[in-house]
Structure 1
Amino acid sequence: MPNEKPYHERAVEALAPQYETQEEMIIRLIEAHKQNIDDITVGQRYYNQRNDVLKIAPKKDADGQVDNEKPNWHITTNFHQNLVDQKVGYTVGNPVTLSHKDDKVVQQLQQVFNNRWDSKLVDILTAASNKGVEWLQPYIDEQGEFKLFRVPAEQAIPIWTDKEREELQAFIRYYKLNDEEKVEYWTNTDVTYYVMEDSQLIPDYYHGENNVQGHFSNGNWGKVPFIPFKNNPEETSDIHMYKTIIDAIDKRLSDTQNMFDESAELIYILQGYEGEDLKEFMNNLKYYKAINVDSEGGVDTIQVEVPVTSTKEYLEMMRSYLMEFGQAVDFQTDKFGSSPSGIALKFLYGNLDLKANKLRNKTHVAIQELLEFVIQHFKINADVKDVEVVFNYNRMMNELEQSQIGAQSQYLSKETLVTNHPWVKDPQAEIERIDAEQLELNAQLPSIEDGVEDANQSEDNKPE
């Protein structure tokens, strides 16, 4: 074309960096994020027992119309919920304990890491197991109190500084509130509030005249205040490990129930039927208990047989695959007897340990990040690396065997023995009780000074 730019000019323009505004970047990332929301939430959907089997279309008749008389079961199983609850309960069912050489530091940390935190952590890791990652935002409320807010993964769009996904450069929160699309853009110093209208961002003045504010009223954290609780290094949901197996089980159960319902009915074989179509035949049979056939005609029937044995074997096989691929503990197994030893239990929990350890490692990093915010806000005289984070796995154990090991372990510290004793649920509280009992016992025993005084009095009372 005569007015077209020369090739070399077009090539230079194509290679030149394409700059975009902050708002354009946010809109682009939000549109990309929307495409992934179904993948992010599929695990949560299965956890709530909204399995894909519910989407199976109803049966249709020969004319292509929905046949409401046809059995159409949609049986869902809660295998995913069971496996997630097993892993999370195993990992943090017993509260995660924090310890430090200075008891005062522990008491200060307990302002945040209390019973309410233990419950919140279970909810966060359950969501992380369903979605691959869940986010936690530390913030300061209007009264100056330190608070924690859980941000669902479907609302979170992190912007990382590197491919390792370890440090945040910025964070976008996108959510709907009262039919409005709200957008928050967080950096290490401030947050910008927007409302999205017609795919455009406009300032959200609900937060004041200035839609750009600090993290809290009198300052900022100095870093992006969002903490990822990752399910595993890949940040993927557990559901992808075994979703197809659950779908196959749901479908087989539904089909089998349909066959059971249909087995009560008969299949009719017609010979010499004089009617127009099968609908007329069924209507005549239903209302008149009779049908018209020619001189050589007749009706035979076949009873539907349900393959119960093969179905049972198939479901048992699929359940076994589910336990293996889902890295779960199958408590229905009879391989280890009624009272397995410690070695047998280690084998039983082997797969679950592999899966739980990934969650534990990522959770340990997240708790350390949270500790940085807590120490900063409460001005605690401690370093994060000096706070020990201990996960107390909720593993079934042979209590007699475990107690005997503890009783024979005379060279271990009191803290180690108490932490690993099967009857102890709160090691720190148990140690405090032991120390209190020891102090009370010492108070009841005669002191050395009392013994010396008694001896001196005995010498003075001797006859000369």
Structure 2
Amino acid sequence: MELEVIKKLIKKYLPGHGDFLRKAMIAKRYYQAQNDILFMEKKKTDETENPMRNADNRIAMTFYPLLVDQKIAYLFTAPPLFDTKNEEANQLITNTLGGEYAAKVQELGTNAANSGIGWLHYWTDENNDFQYGVVPSEQIIPVWSPKLSHELLAVLRVYQEFDDNGDIYDVYEFWDDETCTKYRKRGCDELQMLTPYPCFTDFYISGMSGADNEYRHNFGAVPFIPFRNNQLATSDLFRIKKLIDAYDKTISGFMNDLEDIQEVIFVLTNYGGEDLNEFLKNLKYYKTISVESAGTGDSAGVSTLNIDIPVEARREMMVTTKKAIFTMGQGVDPEQQGLNSTSGEAMKFVYSLLELKAGQLETQFRMGFDKLINAILRHYNRDTGPIIQTWTRTSIKNDADLVSMCRNSVGVVSNKTILAHHPFVDDVSEEQKEIAKEQQEQMEAMDMYGGAFNKAKGGES
């Protein structure tokens, strides 16, 4: 791609990326428990108006990371499994996804929850093996087709890196369905200083010596896959941010009052001493102080300032706000009362809101996983076709009910489907192998027993 063309694309798409980047970074900050309350300026008040207000506690409640981790654990503690109806292809997929598959899926889901969309990038290594990884969502600027299909036409990836001298560079990678071109500029330079970044060697470009800033990836598609958090690709934070901020302010103000109320402030009227040190000395050693009275009606004396804390109002505010956070955030309150004796069937209603939110993510992620598995099969020249995905929820449930349902489903659905939903089975293929092995051993044992019985019977005759 020509240098001037990439400059025009950057000027076109980078400004619109700013709003997405701002929202994504706010959600990421809240996920790290860096709420707005920690960065608010302290209110400037006249000390003569309210000398009681000195405490400045900043308490950031971790409701948002709890809700995100709750959804990710609910969906991906047992990551999705894939079945192509071909054992060889299934084993190839398992080997390619590797042992880090579960961790990468959880990272992908967390990025989607925070940013509204997660991105997965795939490539080939020096051995031509298929590799994949999660890319931070804030680095990706997608170029979508204006058609109803909403196809991904290209990806502009923007990130920073350090060179050997410690200088910061802004790197721009432009990916389409055939090539990747790479450019960079110093972080402090203007866009006009953008130059080609020749970092691709003959490892990427066969038959070339030296390096170039472009290479062909031969995937036949843009090697980036979007994983939306929901249909609108919105973050989980935007629905509950104001509620979290209100709770933070309430509990922080409560703590400030409790801290300030421990300080006693004396109000001295017509004090007869010379200075405050003498006042404290007389109060400590003599338990008395002297004041000057001007006669009848004079208000000379000592009094104290007190803080009145509206405890009940604040308690009600915190209870109501917390309930709204879990309702609007579609989560399960871990302190919800009355769950000790809840049956397995009734427990489903406790998870109903979380299931609604998880279902929206699953619908979008299913499309992304289909693209990933098909890319793996195409790379290894295997036939692509329908892919069966098995998703497992991780929640508090009654395993006895599930086992009973599996037992009652024998003869109604296939044994493979029953195994996929059995609470004791993690890998359906491995379980099928174990069952076949046990059946073979039982048949061999029966043959040995039968042969010995016939031999013994013949000997008696």
Instruction: Find 1:199's aligned residue among 188, 191, 201.
Output: 191
Using the TM superposition, give the Cα deviation of residue 114 of structure 1 relative to its aligned residue in structure 2, in angstroms: 3.4
Tell me the alpha carbon deviations over residues 280-300 of structure 1, each in whole angstroms, 9 at most, x when there is no partner: 987776688679766332231
> How far did 1:155 drift?
0.7
Please provide the CA RMSD for this pair.
3.2
Of the structure 1 ranges 125-134 and 97-106, higher mean CA displacement relative to structure 2 is found in: 97-106
Q: Deviations over 1:22-54 (max 9, x none)?
A: 421223312332343221221111110000010
Aligned to 2:384: 383
Match of 2:327 in 1: 324
TM-score for both structures, normalised by structure 1: 0.83
Answer whether contact 1:136 1:227 (CA < 8 A) is retained. Answer: yes
Q: Which residue, out of 154, 163, 182, partners 2:138?
A: 154
1:109-141 residue CA offsets vs partner (Å, 9 max, x unmatched)? 111233311111011101110111111110112
Q: How does 1:340-355 map to 2 (within 5 A)?
A: 340-342=343-345, 344-355=346-357
Identical aligned residues as a percent: 27
User: 1:368-447 alignment to 2 at 5 Å?
Assistant: 368-380=370-382, 382-385=383-386, 387-411=387-411, 412-446=413-447
1:250 aligns with 2:248: yes
Which deviates the most, 370-379 or 287-296?
287-296
Between the two proteins, the alignment pairs up a number of residues equal to: 429
Instruction: Give the unaligned 5+ runs of structure 1.
Output: 1-19
Moved more, 207-216 or 149-158: 207-216
Tell me if 1:356 matches 2:358.
yes
C-alpha offsets along residues 357-387 of structure 1, whole Å, 9 cap, x if unaligned?
111111111111111221122222x3242x2
Q: How far off is 1:149 after superposition? A: 2.5
* Contact 2:197/2:213 (<8 A) preserved: no
Residues 189-229 of structure 1: CA deviation (Å, up to 9, x unaligned): 1111111331222211344666542244xxx2111111111
- Which whole-Å CA distance do the structure 1 matches of 2:321 and 2:280 have between them? 41
Letter in 1 for 2:388: E
In structure 2, C-alpha distance between the alignment counterparts of 1:164 and 1:391, rounded to whole Å = 29
Q: Please give the residue correspondences for 1:173-188 in structure 2 after superposition, counting only pairs within 5 Å.
A: 173-178=157-162, 179-188=168-177
Letter in 2 for 1:39: K
Matched to 1:151, the amino acid is V
Instruction: Note closer, same or farther for the CA distance 1:153–1:163 as it changes in structure 2 (3 Å cut).
Output: farther
How far apart in 2 are the matches of 1:37 and 1:68? 41
Q: Which moved more, 1:139-148 or 1:266-275?
A: 266-275
In 1, the alpha carbon distance for the partners of 2:226 and 2:31 equals 21
Q: For the residues of structure 2 that align with 1:400 and 1:50, how far apart are their CA atoms?
A: 42
Does structure 2 conserve the Cα–Cα contact (< 8 Å) formed by 1:272 and 1:294?
yes
Q: Secondary structure at the match of 1:110?
A: helix
Deviation string 1:205-256 (CA, Å, 9 cap, x unpaired) is 344666542244xxx2111111111111111110012111111111111100
Gaps of 5+ in 2: 163-167, 202-209, 284-288
Once the two structures are superposed, residues 346-366 of structure 1 have per-residue CA deviations (whole angstroms, 9 ceiling, x without a partner) of 211111111001111111111
Contact 2:200 2:215 in 1 (8 A): no
Contact 2:183 2:213 in 1 (8 A): no
| Contact map agreement 1:59 1:72 (CA 8 A) in 2 | no
Q: Which residue of 2 aligns with 1:137?
A: 121
Instruction: Please name the residue that 1:3 is paired with.
Output: none
Q: Is the contact made by 1:94 and 1:393 (CA closer than 8 Å) also made in structure 2?
A: yes
Q: Which amino acid aligns with 1:345?
A: M
Aligned partner of 1:259 among 249, 253, 257:
257
